[in-house]
Structure 1
Amino acid sequence: MKVRSGDVELAVQVRGTSGPTVVLVHGYPDTHAVWDRVAAILEKDFRVVTYDVRGAGESTAPSTEDGYRLEHLSNDLFAVIDEVSPDEPVHVVGHDWGSIQSWEAVTTPGARIATFTSISGPCLDHLGHWSRKGMSIAHLRQFFRSWYIGAFYLPVIAPLFWRLYLARRWGDVLRRLEGVRATPASTIASDAARGISLYRANIRQVMRSPRHRLAPIPVQVIQPTRDRYIRTEPLDLERWVPSLRRRRIVAGHWAPLSHPEPLARMISEFVADSAPPRELVVITGGGSGIGRATAVAFAKAGAKVVVSDVDFAAAKETADMVGGHAYEVDVRSEEAVRAWARQVAREHGVPDVVVNNAGIGHSGSFLSTSTEQWQRVLDVNLWGVVHGCRAFGELMVERGEGGHIVNLSSAAAYLPSKILSAYATSKAAVFMLSDCLRAELAPHAIGVSTICPGLVNTNITATTTFSGVSADEERRKQDRASRLYARRGFGPEGVAAEIVRAVRRNRPVVPVTAEAKAARLAGRVAPGLLRAFAKLDVG
């Protein structure tokens, strides 16, 4: 298959149909074929994905040297992951430059990567920090191992040497230096000449100003003991990788070619041993509607679910449906939410996902809405979200393993209405809170998604309050709204599916229904139209 990533098209190969997805990323001057022997073993238990990196094999090449920068290579990997495994994290294995570019992806907050196995390819930033520790025997040895990098910076000579001489003898070089037999790709001359840009576009730039790159996932570093080009043992990887496993393999640099069986075994063992525990998902307002549907959706995906609601009986019913746990919590109370968060952490662990869903509806003009009604709406819809974000966000940051916060906003956040001033204001505040929180928590690998449903058929219409009307008129308005939402025919399960997808893909803002998407677009291109619509009598 072909996958588009920026200005290139990547050739992707998929083997096997079941099991976790393992993505193998090749190095320089190889193609995906360097993984053939390893993939043939892994595909018995895994869905194995390989691809030709940009400028290699059957993939197209960028038009400039700048196109080989790490950020583009990382985006290529993300594009492949989105195509082959849109809903579930994958296990990435990189060799040589495939490992170098995979480090860039792995240390990017929110990357949908479950584990990473690195073979003969360090993170350039980690290498840069290590190089600043002063001169040692290890530094001198690495300097001499990397002599060829200086040669790659020679203009004209380096690519010409590849095209006219080395490409034709590459098979002999591998046999003589590595003891492996491999048929070089027919495109190796052009691939290798272009691939020199990998070094020119990245080495000096990154080594000159190394960044702090933390890997929040389990990482396995396999060091071939006979590698002539790179040694990872001296690198202070524990500083950057909290969950690190180091292993050695008695092989040369091209271990995927020479030792496919032990390499495949190490990869399989690491994927199995590092399988994360069941994802813990916490949902407020989980007694009905979107909250209950979200609990069911995450439970079906294998998560352990904890729900709360002011109606404990409803929360318990949801928990019984999904084999989860129920609590009675009033999200208006900061003290109650903090106590609940501590209890959840103590009894179940720090959650991986928190869905701040609890909310109420209210309709009425600004002048007819009392201060008490304003306070009630803001206490639940805004302060309930604030309390949830703070109580659980602090736990997530302290744990240091990332996570995801989902805040339920609404299309009303950007669709003004003269009869929804209090409700729309509360949801708009949640929208902006989420934007601010997303920026603050990104360094901690905690994603934040804002969900904006439109007309969804839940029981919120039956409990919505109205300003300035009698009890009988309020019931009539509730019935009318319930019939309208029922005719719309969009159930809470649709919102739940979008919530799960938003977490998996780390999506920032998700308008759910057609009207929510249309209003979002109109707010960007024709805000005056929305303001005019707000003046209409639609209540």
Structure 2
Amino acid sequence: MTASDGVRLSVTIGGRSDGPTVVLVHGYPDNSSMWGGVAAELGAKHRVVTYDVRGAGQSGKPPGRASYRLDQLADDLRAVVDEVQPTGRVHLVAHDWGSIQTWHAVTGDALRGRIASYTSLSGPSLDHAGAWFRAQLSRPTPKRLKNALSQFLHSWYILAFQVPFVPDLLWRTGLLGRQIRRMEPDAALPEKADGLHGLELYRANMFTRLSRPAPRPADIPVQVLAPTGDAYVTTPLQTEVVRWVPDLRIRRIVGTHWVTRAKPAVVAAAAAELIEYAETGTESRALRRARPGMGPFAHKLVVVTGAGSGIGRATALAFAGRGADVIITDVDRASAAETLKQLGERGVAEYTVDSSDGEAVHRFAERVRAEHGVPDIVVNNAGVELSGSFLGTSAEDWERVVDVGFRGVIHGCRAFAPMLVERAEGGHIVNLAPAAALSLSARLRAELTADHIGVTAVGPDRRGLGPEGVAREVLRAVEPTP
């Protein structure tokens, strides 16, 4: 198709023809092929549109800095939307410079009434970013100064791209593309032409917008997916936009700047949830908990095993009292049902599960994922306490203690930890375990740290606190640090 200034834009339409239309806007130094995995995931239920922005891929590569200004890029997006869907509303998902230009479009007037939702990754509005920097420096606190300095250090390349000739030469020789690939294993090797022509994006827009910001609000549902390991855009810069976005969701995704390539299913699933909300008004639990200002446990899904009585019941009630949605298990159906009744509206479901049965625990975990989604917090609490003297107990009694108290922890961790890793939004596992399980918890904590999944062990020495005291210990361990 032809843009308003005559530049030809290469547009591809795929997916389900009768589904909601989703337009994917790529960043720099990519082209629309970057969306291959995400488009495939979305295509089962959505009509998916990708296009090469000007200067990239199969689209035209106009000379001159003025051809790459934000107003023109936003007009290109408007033209694509009008071409692929002349009436009605579309959904937008954008990454990096695609996000920057999409923010400019959705906060302006050209697409007003035509956009149903917007999911942004790794690219803020330049006007919002300029205002954010001013706020950090005009009302400095140690935290704000640290955030501003961190973003300055992450943005070194912006200054480098303003230098004449040098970055152009580095792109032509292929050195810059290979360096990006070395720094970001999840990135594809960029096309030289895409990198070279896209330099004008920085030269035409960065300093003019950042030095004289004119932030505008977005009047549509917006979701910011912030990769935790983004080497170029820090989380505060992306997410501290609530004053300009009344209907905002913020989700931190475990991954690097190119999480779109590395974890397309995660990105697509999150985008699909916002699309579903905009189309039907149905808001997933993940979207509810992603609203800014929610408490640390509000709308989080918590699984507590052995919750029919004692510490398990107290822990389930404590989470529910802080706004969490709680799923409980116990080997005794009647006691589990009583706990669920006490949980009230915060009780999601109760299941009869023997934690010593590994296959049963895995079946339970799969059922939870299918019926309620991946939990945010898992408390492996089930245990057996023996009464009477040592000589008065049998070997079978002690085997049962080990099966439930130790192997039950292993089964719970093995069933739920892979789900938390795959979801890529962090989480926490708490093991109320005998001493033998403490080393297991420490090893698992080290293994899952990179996935932002915490693991806490509450040993038998804390049992003297009583059920409510141990429940408070669990919440204190899981609550995120401000």
> Of the candidates 174, 177, 183, which is equivalent to residue 183 of structure 2?
177
Matches of residues 182-331 of structure 1 in structure 2 within 5 Å? 182=188, 184=190, 188-234=191-237, 236-275=240-279
Residues 442-488 of structure 1, C-alpha deviation per residue, up to 9 Å, x if partnerless? xxxxxxxxxxxxxxxxxxxxxxxxxxxxxxxxxxxxxxxxxxxxxxx
- Partners of 1:239 and 1:62 in 2: CA distance: 36
Tell me if structure 1 keeps the 8 A contact 2:186–2:256. no
**2:255 alignment partner, SS class:** coil
Equivalent in the alignment of 2:70: 70
Deviations 1:397-425 (A, max 9, x none): xxxxxxxxxxxxxxxxxxxxxxxxxxxxx
Paired residue secondary structure (1:129): helix
- For the pair 1:145 / 2:154, whether they are aligned, the reply is yes
CA contact (8 A) 2:187 2:258 kept: no
Tell me, yes or no, if structure 1 residue 155 matches structure 2 residue 157.
Answer: no
Which residue number corresponds to residue 98 of structure 1? 98
Q: How many angstroms apart in 1 are the aligned matches of 2:280 and 2:204?
A: 36
Question: Which letter maps to 1:177?
Answer: M
Task: Give unpaired runs (5+ residues) of structure 2.
Answer: 283-482
Q: 2:134 matched to which residue of 1?
A: 132
181 and 201 in structure 1: CA distance in 2 versus 1, 3 angstrom threshold: closer
How far residue 208 of structure 1 moved from its aligned partner, in angstroms, is: 1.2
| Distance in structure 2 (CA, Å) of the matches to 1:116 and 1:237 | 14
Q: CA deviation at 1:193?
A: 1.1
Deviations 1:160-182, CA, capped at 9 Å, x for gaps: 11111325626xx43x4333263
Give the corresponding residue for 1:4.
3
2:123 maps to what in 1?
A: 121
How far the C-alpha of 1:48 sits from its partner, in A, is 0.2
Deviations along 1:482-524, whole A, 9 cap, x unmatched?
xxxxxxxxxxxxxxxxxxxxxxxxxxxxxxxxxxxxxxxxxxx
CA distance in 2, matches of 1:132, 1:111: 31
The number of aligned residues is: 271
Name the CA distance, whole Å, in 2 between partners of 1:58 and 1:143: 33
Give the whole-Å Cα distance in 1 for the aligned partners of 2:98 and 2:5: 18
**Is the CA contact 2:178–2:189 (under 8 Å) kept in the aligned structure 1?**
no
Amino acid in structure 2 at the alignment position of 1:118:
S
CA distance in 2, matches of 1:92, 1:198: 20
Aligned partners of 1:33, 1:220: CA distance in 2, in Å?
Answer: 23
Find the aligned partners of 2:149 and 2:236 in 1 and give their Cα distance: 14
Q: Which residue of 2 aligns with 1:421?
A: none
Deviation of 1:66 after TM superposition, in Å, equals 1.1
Q: Are the counterparts in 1 of residues 150 and 234 from structure 2 also a CA contact under 8 Å?
A: no
In structure 2, do the counterparts of structure 1 residues 232 and 124 end up closer, same or farther at CA, with 3 Å as the change threshold?
Answer: farther
1:13 and 1:82 mapped to 2: Cα distance? 14
- Please list, as runs of the form range in 1=range in 2, the aligned pairs for 1:333-482 lying within 5 A after superposition: none
User: Cα distance, 1:231 vs. partner?
Assistant: 1.8
1:5 Cα deviation from its structure 2 partner: 3.3
Residue pair 1:3, 1:80 contacting (<8 A) in 2 also: no
Shift of 1:276: 5.8
Point out 4+ residue stretches in structure 1 off by more than 4 angstroms.
none
Higher alpha-carbon Rg:
1
Who is 1:45 aligned against?
Answer: 45
The 3-state SS of whatever aligns with 1:126 is helix
Query: Shift in Å at residue 61 of structure 1?
Result: 1.8
CA distance in 2, matches of 1:80, 1:146: 30
Q: 1:192 to 1:205 in 2, by over 3 A?
A: same
Equivalent AA in structure 2 for residue 108 of structure 1: G
* Distance 1:276-1:67 versus aligned 2 partners, 3 A rule: farther
Report how far residue 183 of structure 1 moved.
5.3
Partner of 2:175: 166
Conserved in 2, the CA contact under 8 Å of 1:9 and 1:59? Answer: yes
Q: State the shift of 1:108 in Å.
A: 1.1
- In structure 2, relative to structure 1, the CA distance for the partners of 1:168 and 1:238 (3 Å cut) is closer
Partner Cα distance (1:189, 1:224) in 2: 26
Partner of 2:13: 14
Q: Which runs of 5 or more residues in structure 1 are unaligned?
A: 279-539
1:31-57 per-residue CA deviation (whole Å, 9 max, x = no partner) reads 000000110111000000000000101
Tell me, in whole angstroms, the C-alpha distance in 2 between the residues paired with 1:96 and 1:261. 18
Cα distance in 2 for partners of 1:180, 1:129 equals 31
Letter in 1 for 2:86: P
Q: Classify 1:255/1:96 alpha carbon distance in 2 versus 1 (closer, same or farther; 3 Å).
A: same
Distance 2:120 2:177 in 1: 29
Structure 1 counterpart SS, 2:123:
coil
Paired residue secondary structure (1:238): coil
3-state SS in 2 of match to 1:116: strand
Structure 1: distance between partners of 2:66 and 2:187: 33
1:167 and 1:36 map into 2 onto residues whose CA distance is 23
Q: Take 2:157 and 2:8, find their aligned partners in 1: how far apart are those partners?
A: 29
CA distance in 1, matches of 2:21, 2:161: 35
Q: Which amino acid aligns with 2:212?
A: S
Q: The residue matched to 2:245 in structure 1 has which SS?
A: coil
The amino acid of 2:38's aligned partner reads: V
Q: Using a 3 Å threshold, how does the CA distance of structure 1 residues 100 and 114 change in structure 2: closer, same or farther?
A: same
Match for 1:240: what amino acid? W
CA contact (8 A) 1:7 1:62 kept: no
Once superposed, what is the RMSD of the aligned Cα atoms? 1.7
Q: Give, as a single letter, the amino acid of the residue that structure 2 aligns with 1:128.
A: G
SS across alignment from 1:224:
strand
Give the AA of the match of 2:203. R
Aligned amino acid, residue 4 of structure 1: A
Change in CA separation of 1:168 and 1:244 when aligned onto 2, cut-off 3 Å: closer
Letter in 1 for 2:7: V
Equivalent-residue separation in structure 2 for 1:178 and 1:60 (angstroms): 27
Shift of residue 264, structure 1, vs aligned partner: 0.8
Paired with 2:226 and 2:188, the residues of 1 have a C-alpha distance of 21
Matches of 1:230 and 1:40 in 2, distance apart?
26
TM-score, scaled relative to structure 2: 0.54
How far apart, in 1, do the equivalents of 2:152 and 2:89 lie? 36
**Equivalents in 2 of 1:245, 1:181: separation in Å?**
26
* Cα gap change, 1:73 to 1:128, in 2 (>3 Å): same
